[in-house]
Amino acid sequence: MKRISKYLLEALGDSEDQTVIQNLEVKWNGPNELLLQVPEAYSESDTQIYMDDIFLKDMPIEQSEQALGKNFKELTDEYFEYESMDMTQGTMQKADILWDDHYDQSMNGTNMVVVRIRGLKYCVTFNQFTVEKSMSDDEDMRDLLFNLFDGIGTENKTEIELVLNKENITWDE
């Protein structure tokens, strides 16, 4: 016969063996300022789409399906956010990341500009995230999640340097 506490835990999505976290959001800080070369005709929206298409496939989560196990199926969104994006002044501004000629070949040979992106973050959200209780016995949940996500994808280098901060891990409590 089950105890009432076990029924309550199961109803809340928890069991004695695991804890289910709802609406987990993890954000890695990118560089404070990133200089990206894009075609002069590109709008801010075009630049956002370009960044998603070019960089997301190399980000930590995309390289970590095996490490995340069944949690990978709960991934609901992956995107970049930033504080501001504006065109730099001057024609001699050196970009941190050059235009990818293979992305939109119709733009090759057109005038290129450098946009400054400030406060870039790489963000992922999960509908729910299951953590084994045995993993969380000796550490608090934020430390556990930080250690898990900080180690994900570290073997793959990306053009955008990312750093995880514990305060950038949130969920419904």
- Each of the 173 residues of the chain gets a pLDDT tens digit; together they read 433 333 333 444 444 578 899 999 999 999 999 999 999 999 999 999 999 999 988 887 876 777 788 999 999 999 999 999 988 876 567 899 999 989 988 888 888 999 999 999 999 999 999 987 655 544 588 888 998 888 776 555 678 888 998 999 999 87
Phi and psi torsions of 32, nearest 5°: -60, -30
Dihedral of CA atoms 100, 104, 109, 110 in degrees, nearest 10, equals: -110
Say what the pTM is. 0.80
* Phi and psi at residue 19, to the nearest 5°: -120, 135
Q: Give yes or no for a contact between 130 and 20, defined as CB atoms under 8 angstroms apart.
A: yes
